[in-house]
Amino acid sequence: MSEVFIPGYSLRQGSRLDRALLLKFVYRTYKEQFPDQDLSHLPPTVEQYFSPQTPIWWVDRFNPDCSTPETIACLWLGNAIDQGDGERTAHIFLLYVAPEHRKQGIGSALVTHAEQWATQRGDRKISLQVFTNNHPALNLYQKLGYQPQSLLMQKILSGVK
């Protein structure tokens, strides 16, 4: 079922049948951040985590020149455990808006939808991971009240191929 999301766009819940479309959006997300990276690990990652407990929503744009809507955004949600207190928390696995549709409130509306979903199922917290070089996403999340809880640190090891 589809609902008016913001003017010109509709929101619909996806299903397990949307695995290929989800993978396409996961690829688009990581290709923007890591254009030269081998992303062959993404299909097994989606296979491992995509389940009935990890719902997805799609944002469609209806083009008057075309009879079928264009899917332009994705929200994939799931669960995490807050390692500080052991509490289950909702987790945003993926939030992606096609570049030509950004800065129109779609990302903010998707985050609000995620927060409503989490609240309805009784979660007191929601988390996400964002890359430090993704400044537009960092700005969006900070504007919406998200704050760092931890810092993932990484070191590239020499001598390993």
Q: Which domains, and CATH codes, for the chain? A: 2-143 (3.40.630.30)
CA-closest candidate to residue 56, choices 99, 98, 110: 110
What is the rounded distance in angstroms from the CA atom of residue 8 to the CA atom of residue 150?
37
Give the list of residues 6+ apart from residue 42 with CB closer than 8 angstroms, or none. 23, 26, 27, 30
pLDDT of 138 reads 92
Reported as type and span, the H/E element at residue 29 is helix 19-33
Ranges under pLDDT 70 in the chain: 1-4, 160-161
pLDDT of 62 reads 83
Contact 106, 140 (CB under 8 A): no
pLDDT of 27 reads 96
What is the rounded distance in angstroms from the CA atom of residue 45 to the CA atom of residue 26?
10
